Amino acid sequence: MHDTPPAVPDFTQWPSFPFEGDLRVKQLDDPVPVEPPRKGEENRECIACSAPDEAYIWVGERWRVRAMDRPTGLPMVLILETRSHLDLGDLPNLLAAELGVMTVRLERAIRSLDDVARVHVNRWGDGSAHLHLWFLARPYGRLQLRGTFLSLWDSILPPIPEAKWRENLALVAAWLADFGGRPLAEPPRIEWQAPSSIASSIPDTDTEAAPENSVIEAAEETPTGEGMAAAEADADGDADRSALDEGPQGEDDGNAEALSAGDIPGSGAAAEHPVVEEATESPTPLAGSEAAGNASDGEAGRQPKVPSPRRTEDDVAAAKPA
């Protein structure tokens, strides 16, 4: 009968038990005469005493709260520790009283998070001689996780998103800081990427329709009427010659040479060089075949948008036939 394993206990049939299938109970090992020292006992280093404050999400004068190094399956898992290297039975009256206050305060902070129904508080103490209490949050509505096996489900469930985990840590730290101490957990940063250029963020109107509320489709940005005709002329490479041909026949071509910046759409020099000033510096209009010869040579079509002042004698000499 000694080699027969004990029967499987009834809790394996509980809805909260995380395993199913054929199970059997392990045989117990023989007891040891002397238990090995825990971390922080005898010559073993205490991890809690050597950890800096930056490893915790909240620190106070006599207490510190730390989290796991990565998200786990539960919304929140935290550990409350004393600064002094003491175990539960070693606490003086002051820290013993504060332990109750800190336990209630941290439980309320975790329970204030979204989607948290209950907070389980556990103390085992077999791994470290430094006092540490575990706080495990059970998700709201997850009735299968109730009770004894919540710590096992924490290792079975898929980890929660890291951004949500860091947000929860920051909220708990801020909640505790309202009563003192210093919060060290920061909320996650918003990750965004600006477009490399404005042009890259504008959709191609030739291949796809622009959004309904696009600024590009504003009335003042849409070419109509004569502006559309000028745009088509630019595509053919004859925009300047077409602009001159739009005037009535028989007018002096000298006015085309004296075209001011104010008559050119989009020119920024209109305020500095009014049309009147440019006209006074224009040469006397040429009549007859001389003016027609200049226009046929295409000189007027190649004039710059903002003509520079020229001497009258130079214009007359240039207008004479060779």
Q: What is the DSSP string of 59-104?
A: E-SSEEEEE-SS--SSS-EEEEEESSS--GGG--HHHHHHHHHHHH
Task: Considering only residues 55 and 197, tell me which one the structure prediction assigns the higher pLDDT.
Answer: 55
Per-residue confidence (pLDDT) for residue 10, from 0 to 100: 84
pTM over 0.85: no
- Per-residue pLDDT at 46 exceeds 80: yes
pLDDT score at 197? 59
pLDDT digits (tens, 9 = 90+) for 278-299: 444 444 444 444 444 444 444 4
Does 202 or 187 have the greater pLDDT score?
Answer: 187
Residue 270: count of CB within 10 angstroms of its CB: 16
Contact 185, 170 (CB under 8 A): yes
Give 241-276 pLDDT, tens digit per residue: 444 455 444 444 444 444 444 444 444 444 444 444
| Stretch 170-181: mean pLDDT | 95
Q: Which residues contact 106 (CB under 8 A, 6 or more apart)?
A: 65, 78, 80, 135, 172, 176
Torsional sign, CA 148, 151, 152, 154: positive
User: b/e string for 105-144 if b means 16 or more Cβ within 10 A?
Assistant: bbbebbeebeebebbbeeeeeeebbbbbbebbbbbeebee
Average model confidence (pLDDT) across the chain:
73
pLDDT digits (tens, 9 = 90+) for 97-138: 999 999 999 999 999 999 999 999 999 989 999 999 999 999
pLDDT on residue 181:
95
Q: What percent of the chain has pLDDT over 90?
A: 48
Listed in sequence order, the residues at least 6 apart from 186 whose beta carbon sits closer than 8 Å to its beta carbon are 166, 170
pLDDT confidence bin for 172, thresholds 50/70/90: very high
